[in-house]
């Protein structure tokens, strides 16, 4: 149950005066809510800047392009000529240093005459622009007389807005919401409050929305930082609660004598790398412990995570139990199955795949074999967690690219068995601060080396102007029996964005190279995609034109050339993932990044990093520097703890503090009882991390 003290903050914004159905729609859009936002959402929508009215320049000293506040005398009005309703209404005003024109479109003349009577002194505030050599302010934000100016805040916050919502309406709504703020209990420990010199929540919200000084609204200031810490603590506490639930003492443990593992290792065409051996040893050790495993296995593209996952599944099969590997897409699930099946077969392990494509009798047979325990490893997509999927004895859940799944899906898979161990795979090397933010305090294994025999990739950036040369080069490569990926950003032509789409490029390359060219994109049927991929893998076609569906998990060792068109449109992590599809065989590989000029600063920086290094960990760190955490994980959706206030580049040290504090709280007060527990429950509800609260009553 939500603590009653929070009720005023959970009132809808429509309970404020002046916020009707039309505003409701705009606020939903602004605050990214499907339903009517609450006052809490409004108060946590923080300003991005301020208007400082303390400096009042003379007209001649006003800097064009900035917000200025001027003291002027109104000289004359000029209404638009009759019949020209679109022409502006202009008011000419001056001080002893020059003139300013106040411009209004679709103005009501009577209203403006009353607001700016000729001969009167007025204070006007707005963005000054030079127009024909004269200073002009279009639709000033504020126009007040002496008395009004005395009441005006000297510093006004500026907020992110949405079309149709005026800044004045938002400021008035926020001011009203602040008056409804209840006196909440303090959830930050006295020691942290003292160490970080944080203000109270009430003071932080008041000073960010009604600043005394422009610095009051800066993200690294103490007011914003207090709110960021609250949000991080709520996130870390929720993760710690889920983890404590997963970490409850488990019964019989899940590692056997190594018989199946030795058979798989003997069947491998290469030796395991040092870091693969270390990761397997750490996992086996976890499987023997009296608490459940929660381990993140990070490995760069092509570092051999799938084999480590198979060895973990084999350890579980050695004691007669089952494992499940859940991947976010069907292509990825089938790729895992393709790598795993032949190795598992050598060890006598039975593996099956279950996606949306297995239907009817085939699906029924799989489910039956799973329930009877004949299947030891099931690989698939979300299909693995559907209600009718019953495991005989699920002991290990392997989740691939976990950030694409929400908390619910992760819990749903572990709930399919008793005290299930969890191994998470990620091909996106994630910087340490983000591991903490998104996964909580998981144990971590990293695969830093590439398997033996992998060739370096020569990466070059090429202007679109040189495309004919690139296509000639592809012709020579095909004649030499090489295989080529050609990546495009879109499936079909878009009116809004002028990019080369996959279908158009497929047609143009087919005119040149005939049946040697195939096409794969996300809108095709699964069976059609598989057919084309199989032709490419078998060498029946030499060029595969594709969208980013080939980004993860597609394995054709013979492909040694990749062309990425409109490379400036892709993120660093995505370019790195795509490039990882080549350089998997014994042949030297080339990746061509074809860009459209002129290149923006950010795009040029990205292409420079990707040319300089193939180290995914360095690329992830650079990516974080270049654009913040928003997309380092490749996706913003599906249960990502999307932080609204905390910024990884500003509040990184607060993430560690919040993590340590969450662990201390769970140690000292695991059920969140008493006054301090009640305060922390308020925190979890306020920041919508309350999905972890039901776990407090469990077991």
Give the C-alpha separation, 423 to 211, whole Å.
47
Residue 354 has pLDDT above 60, yes or no: yes
Alpha carbons 278 and 261: distance in angstroms, whole number: 14
pLDDT digits (tens, 9 = 90+) for 55-104: 789 999 998 888 889 999 999 999 998 888 788 999 999 999 999 999 99
> What's the rounded Cα separation, in Å, for the pair 592 and 575?
11
Q: Is the peptide bond before 598 cis (omega within 30 degrees of 0)?
A: yes
Does residue 472 lie in a domain region?
A: yes
Cα angle 265, 267, 270; round to 5: 70
Phi, psi dihedral angles at 94 (to 5 degrees): -155, 165
The residue to which tokens 């049927």 are assigned: 525
**Pair (431, 463) in one structural domain:** no
CA pair distance 386, 399, nearest whole angstrom: 15
pLDDT in tens, 96-125: 999 999 999 888 889 999 999 999 999 999
- Examine the domain organization and report whether 324 and 437 are in the same domain: yes
Kindly indicate the confidence band of residue 552, based on its pLDDT and cuts at 50, 70 and 90. Answer: very low
Q: Between 449 and 94, name the one with better pLDDT.
A: 94
Last residue of a domain, one of 393, 417, 447: 447
pLDDT at residue 638, rounded to an integer: 27
Assess whether 285 and 320 both reside in one domain.
Answer: yes
Q: Decide the pairing of beta strands 121-131 and 134-138.
A: antiparallel
What confidence score (pLDDT) does residue 650 get? 81
Cβ–Cβ under 8 Å, residues 64 and 98: no
Mean of the pLDDT values across residues 289-309?
85
194 vs 638: which has the higher pLDDT: 194
585 or 314: which carries more pLDDT confidence? Answer: 314
Of 237-246, 268-277, 350-359, 562-571, which range is least confident? 237-246
Maximal C-alpha separation, the chain? 97
Q: Which residues make Cβ contacts (< 8 Å) with residue 392, sequence separation at least 6?
A: 322, 370, 371, 372, 373
Q: How far apart are CA 236 and CA 238, in angstroms?
A: 5
281 in the same domain as 398: yes
* pLDDT-derived band at 631, boundaries 50, 70, 90: very low
DSSP 571: -
**Is the predicted pLDDT of residue 289 greater than 90, yes or no?**
no
Structural domains in the chain (count): 3
270 vs 223: which has the higher pLDDT? 223
Give the residue from 344, 290, 269, 358 showing the smallest Cα distance to 312: 344
CA distance 357 to 366: 13
Q: Is 293 left (phi over 0), alpha (psi -120 to 50) or beta?
A: beta
Q: Do 413 and 482 share a domain, yes or no?
A: no
Q: Is residue 552 part of a domain?
A: yes
The mean pLDDT value for 425-437 works out to 69
Whether residues 477 and 439 fall in one domain = no
In a domain, 16, yes or no: no
145 and 267 belong to one structural domain: no
CA distances from 52 to 61, 153, 205 (A): 16, 9, 19
The label of the residue with tokens 């000073």 reads 207
Looking at per-residue confidence, does 499 or 396 come out higher? 396
Q: Lowest-confidence range among 398-412, 631-645, 646-660?
A: 631-645
253 domain-assigned = no
pLDDT digits (tens, 9 = 90+) for 360-389: 999 999 999 999 999 999 999 888 888 889
Question: CA-CA distance, 210 to 157, in Å (whole number)?
Answer: 7
Strands 394-400 and 322-326, how do they pair? Answer: parallel
DSSP state of 19: -
Helix (H) or strand (E) holding 230: helix 222-246
310 and 441 co-located in one domain:
yes
Last residue of a domain, one of 613, 644, 677: 613
Cβ-based neighbour number of residue 631 at 10 Å: 14
Task: Give the residue-averaged pLDDT of 172-192.
Answer: 96
501 pLDDT higher than 60: yes
Model confidence at 553, pLDDT cuts 50, 70, 90, reads very low
**Residue whose entry in the numeric block shows the structure tokens 């795979």:** 425
**Alpha-carbon gap, residue 293 to 443, rounded angstroms:** 8
Q: Are strands 134-138 and 155-158 parallel, antiparallel or unpaired?
A: unpaired
Asked if residue 249 belongs to a domain, the reply is: no
Q: Which two tokens stand for residue 549?
A: 């569906």
pLDDT over threshold 60, residue 697: no
Q: CA nearest 386: which of 359, 349, 421?
A: 359
% of the chain residues with pLDDT over 70: 89
Nearest to 201 by CA among 683, 694, 698, 670: 683
- Provide the CATH number for the domain around residue 494: 3.40.50.300
Region of poorest pLDDT, from 21-25, 149-153, 561-565: 149-153
Q: CA-CA distance, 503 to 546, in Å (whole number)?
A: 9
Average pLDDT over residues 32-56: 89
* End position of a domain, from candidates 421, 447, 473: 447
**Tokens matching residue 492:** 């079909």
Token duo for residue 272: 């395991």
Q: Are residues 466 and 425 in the same domain?
A: no
pLDDT greater at residue 399 or residue 584:
399
Residues 143 and 282 reside in one and the same domain:
no
CA distance 614 to 620: 11
pLDDT of residue 111: 92
Q: List helix spans (H) across 46-166.
A: 109-115, 146-151
Residue with the larger pLDDT of the pair 432 and 381: 381
pTM score, two decimals? 0.62
The band of 682, judged by pLDDT with boundaries at 50, 70 and 90, is very high
Same domain, 598 and 497: yes
Residue ranges of the alpha helices (H) in 31-65? 39-43
Q: Is residue 168 part of a domain?
A: no
In a domain, 46, yes or no: no
What is the residue range of 333's domain? 259-447
CATH of residue 138's domain is 2.40.50.140
Res 404 pLDDT > 60: no
Q: Nearest CA to 303 among 552, 546, 533?
A: 552
- Does one domain contain both 479 and 498? yes
Residue 191 has pLDDT above 70, yes or no: yes
Instruction: Look at residue 164 and tell me if it is in a domain.
Output: no
Q: What is the CA radius of gyration of the chain?
A: 31
Residue among 108, 64, 63 nearest 89 (CA): 108
- CA atoms within a 13 Å half-sphere pointing along the CA-CB vector of 458: 7
């Amino acid at each position: 149950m939500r603590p009653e003290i929070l009720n005023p903050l959970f009132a809808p914004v429509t309970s404020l005066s002046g916020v009707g159905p039309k505003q409701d729609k705009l606020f939903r859009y602004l605050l990214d809510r499907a339903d009517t936002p609450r006052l809490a959402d409004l108060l946590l929508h923080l300003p991005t800047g301020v208007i400082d009215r303390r400096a009042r320049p003379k007209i001649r000293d006003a800097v064009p392009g900035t917000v200025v506040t001027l003291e002027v005398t109104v000289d004359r009005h000029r209404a638009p000529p009759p019949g020209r309703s679109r022409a502006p209404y202009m008011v000419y005003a001056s001080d002893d240093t020059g003139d300013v024109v106040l411009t209004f479109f679709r103005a009501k003349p009577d209203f403006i005459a009353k607001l700016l009577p000729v001969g009167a002194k007025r204070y006007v505030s707005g963005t000054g622009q030079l127009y024909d050599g004269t200073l002009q302010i279009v639709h000033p934000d504020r126009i007040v007389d002496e008395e009004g100016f005395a009441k005006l805040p000297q510093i006004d916050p500026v907020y992110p807005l949405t079309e149709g919502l005026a800044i004045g309406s938002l400021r008035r709504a926020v001011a009203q919401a602040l008056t409804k703020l209840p006196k909440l209990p303090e959830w930050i420990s006295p020691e942290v409050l003292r160490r970080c010199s944080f203000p109270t929540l009430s003071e932080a919200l008041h000073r960010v929305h009604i600043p005394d000084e422009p610095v009051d609204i800066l993200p690294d200031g103490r007011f914003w930082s207090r709110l960021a810490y609250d949000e991080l603590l709520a996130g870390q506490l929720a993760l710690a609660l889920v983890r404590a639930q997963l970490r409850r003492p488990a019964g019989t443990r899940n590692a056997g004598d190594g018989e199946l593992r030795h058979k798989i290792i003997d069947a491998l065409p290469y030796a395991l790398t040092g870091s693969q051996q270390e990761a397997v040893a750490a996992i086996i050790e976890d499987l023997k412990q009296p608490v459940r495993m929660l381990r993140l296995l990070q490995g760069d593209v092509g570092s051999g995570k799938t084999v480590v996952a198979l060895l973990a599944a084999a350890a579980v099969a050695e004691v007669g139990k089952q494992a499940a590997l859940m991947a976010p897409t069907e292509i990825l699930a089938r790729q895992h199955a393709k790598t795993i099946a032949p190795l598992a077969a050598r060890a006598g392990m039975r593996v099956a795949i279950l996606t949306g494509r297995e239907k009817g009798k085939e699906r029924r047979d799989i489910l039956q074999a799973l329930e009877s325990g004949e299947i030891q490893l099931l690989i698939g997509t979300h299909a693995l967690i559907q209600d009718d999927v019953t495991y005989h004895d699920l002991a290990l859940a392997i989740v691939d690219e976990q950030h694409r799944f929400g908390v619910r899906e992760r819990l749903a898979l572990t709930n399919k068995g008793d005290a299930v161990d969890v191994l998470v795979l990620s091909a996106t090397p994630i910087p340490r601060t983000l591991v903490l933010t998104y996964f909580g305090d998981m144990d971590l294994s990293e695969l830093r080396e590439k398997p033996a025999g992998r060739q370096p990739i020569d990466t070059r950036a090429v202007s679109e102007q040189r495309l004919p040369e690139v296509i000639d080069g592809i012709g020579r490569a095909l004649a030499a029996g090489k295989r080529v990926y050609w990546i495009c950003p879109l499936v079909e032509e878009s009116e809004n964005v002028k990019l080369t789409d996959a279908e158009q490029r497929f047609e143009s390359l087919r005119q040149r190279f005939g049946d040697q060219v195939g096409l794969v994109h996300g809108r095709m049927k699964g069976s059609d995609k598989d057919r084309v991929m199989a032709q490419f893998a078998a060498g029946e076609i030499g060029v595969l034109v594709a969208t980013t569906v080939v980004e993860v998990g597609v394995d054709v060792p013979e492909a040694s050339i990749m062309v990425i068109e409109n490379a400036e449109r892709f993120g660093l992590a995505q370019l790195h993932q795509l490039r990882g599809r080549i350089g998997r065989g014994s042949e030297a590989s080339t990746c061509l990044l074809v860009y459209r000029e002129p290149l923006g600063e950010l795009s040029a920086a990205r292409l420079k990093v990707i040319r300089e290094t193939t180290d995914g960990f360095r690329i992830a760190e650079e990516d974080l520097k270049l654009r913040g955490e928003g997309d380092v994980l490749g996706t913003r959706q599906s249960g990502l703890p999307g932080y609204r206030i905390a910024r990884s580049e500003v509040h990184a040290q607060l993430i560690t503090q919040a993590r340590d504090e969450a662990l201390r709280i769970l140690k000292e007060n695991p059920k969140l009882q008493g006054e301090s527990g009640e305060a922390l429950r308020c925190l979890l509800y306020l920041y919508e991390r309350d999905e972890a609260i039901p776990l407090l009553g469990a077991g």
